Amino acid sequence: MPRWESGARERLVLAAVDLFSDQGYDDTTVTQIAERAGVTKSTFFRHFPDKRELLVAGQETLSRLLAEGITAAPADSTPLAAVAAGLELASAEMGPANRELGPRLRVAVAASAELQERDALKQVGMAAAMAEALAARGVAEAPARLASEMGVLAFKQGFERWSSGQADADDGLAQHALSALAELRAAAAGLA
């Protein structure tokens, strides 16, 4: 087995999701994940500090893309329009592999309190990245936090629809995330 095998990180994530879904998070070992992925245990630890981190492997990239989209939005954009730009940019990076992984990932997370906790922390990180990008645009703290939380919820709802088969195979994640954001905006307007 080559020392630096290409695609090892992705194979580790897929192997972990499959094993977590089949036998549960608690009953899955790092050794089993590495074996299923066709890599060594030391390769596993080069990519991830522990098995919890496998399910949030793309969190930093996702948060960065959301923030970059917000930063690149036109200067006259409202906070929610800037969040929509972030959702579009981040969604563009999600492909068929992400879509196929979604349902299996939901099963694994739903079955483990530890993974639910880690998933919640991922969402906090996404919201913080968006709020920081909005603050850098001059948006006050309360509207920045509210818009970023709505962005996280829109991304989550859009991803759920997109990956659960509720959408055509040709539909992109962006249209579902933006649709969810529009629904949330309308719901918020009804709260006044």
Domains of the chain: 8-54 (1.10.10.60), 58-189 (1.10.357.10)
- Specify the residue for token string 């918020």: 188
Q: CA-CA distances (angstroms) from residue 71 to 67, 100, 122, 143?
A: 6, 30, 21, 16
State the pTM of this model: 0.84
Given pLDDT bands bounded at 50, 70 and 90, which one contains residue 167?
A: low
70-87 pLDDT, tens per residue?
999 999 999 999 999 999
76-119 pLDDT, tens per residue?
999 999 999 999 999 998 888 888 888 888 888 888 888 888 88
40-67 pLDDT, tens per residue?
999 999 999 988 888 777 788 899 999 9
CA-to-CA distance for 34 and 145, rounded, in angstroms?
Answer: 39
